[in-house]
Amino acid sequence: MKELTATEAARRLSELLDEVEHKGKTFVVRRRGKPVARIGPAAPSTAGALKEILRKYPVDADWEKELRELRESLPVQERSWPD
């Protein structure tokens, strides 16, 4: 995994993204000598993976009530549409 400075990453961002996209490379970006970010291929996502993540967290029993209250607090906007 190649390491580069934040300045170098900023100057070469388009080139780095091309290498990530087409070659699957990963880069570590350092600022003041410390690693602060990693630029690499995005993890693939699927509906199944999303369902798996959602199953890990309990349902918030108050969510529906809070959403309804939030919607009711928003002003109704009257708009006229052109003919």
Domain that holds residue 31: 1-70
Residue 3 clears pLDDT 90, i.e. is over it: yes
Structure confidence by residue, pLDDT tens digits, 9-21: 999 999 999 999 9
Residue 64 lies in a domain: yes
**Are the C-beta atoms of residues 38 and 15 closer than 8 Å to each other?**
no
Structure confidence by residue, pLDDT tens digits, 21-56: 999 999 999 999 999 999 999 988 899 988 988 899
pTM of the model: 0.54
Give me Rg for the CA atoms of the chain.
22
Residue 83 clears pLDDT 80, i.e. is over it: no
**Are the C-beta atoms of residues 30 and 36 closer than 8 Å to each other?**
yes
Residue 63 lies in a domain: yes
Residue 41 lies in a domain: yes
Residue 14 lies in a domain: yes
Q: Is 27 helix (H, G, I), strand (E, B) or coil?
A: strand
CATH of the domain at 13: 3.40.1620.10
Residue 70 clears pLDDT 80, i.e. is over it: yes
Task: Domain count for the chain, please give it.
Answer: 1
